[in-house]
Amino acid sequence: MPNKSTRFLLLGNGEKPGVPEQAEGLCRKIASAGGVVDALDLSGETSVEGHGADLALVLGGDGAILRAAHQMGQSQVPVLGINLGRLGFLAAIGPDEIEEVLPVLLAGKHEIRKNVMFDCQTRTGSTKESFPVLNEVVISAGPPFRITGVELAIDGEAVATFFGDGLILSTPIGSTAHNLAAGGPILRQTLPAVVITPICPHALTFRPLVESSDRVFTLRCPNASEGATLIIDGFLQFPMKPIDEVTIRRSSVDFELVRIPGRSYYRTLTNKLAWGSPHDGSVGR
């Protein structure tokens, strides 16, 4: 019998074509299957902390899932992404699959994978702000695009000053995003790790570094040019001033992804990155 107490958050990017219509249809399907839509928000901006839901369904692409993680804040619940975007590493199913998957969710037959999130604290003088991070923290050079030096300390120990176009600190979830484009490694999503990747470094000896997620990372940019920017998860942007300090540590909450049986991480990588099939032709059978 379906679990009639299962309560859903329904989130997504309402500006993407088809999302409002998909959300309306999904509400009907959830109700007819015996579930309850606890909250519906397609703005990507409204906080839903303290919602009390059991699962979150997110309509859109990976960007919509990033915003959903920020909306949930300290009240993270398992997320299933319904891919209406282009690539979608995190959005696991298409809209045509939801009727097949919904009974699995209501019966509790899905798996849940916990993934590292960061807390990013910015400090300018005595002013401090904190933000959740699911993908990455980036310090990026901006106009007039001079070489920027980003100082990195780990657990209070000075490591290096990375000269170039900036620096990326990525979670394993974010390793297939900006980090991958900048030449960083792909990490398995559930690893308790951080990857530090220089952007267009000015020295050949600067290479990506993988560290434990239990460390505390501090970034400063004492020669920041006028356009230098701190970017969190691709959509939060702040001017980076020479006096600013950015501290990144593991969050007290994890990001939880719903995994549907029969869908493996490596199958996703193979499909999304168009990797060649093994010689025995096993992939895709």
CB atoms near residue 65 (< 10 Å): 31
Catalytic residues: 62
- Identify the sign of the CA torsion 100, 106, 111, 116: positive
Report d(CA 9, CA 15) in Å as an integer: 18
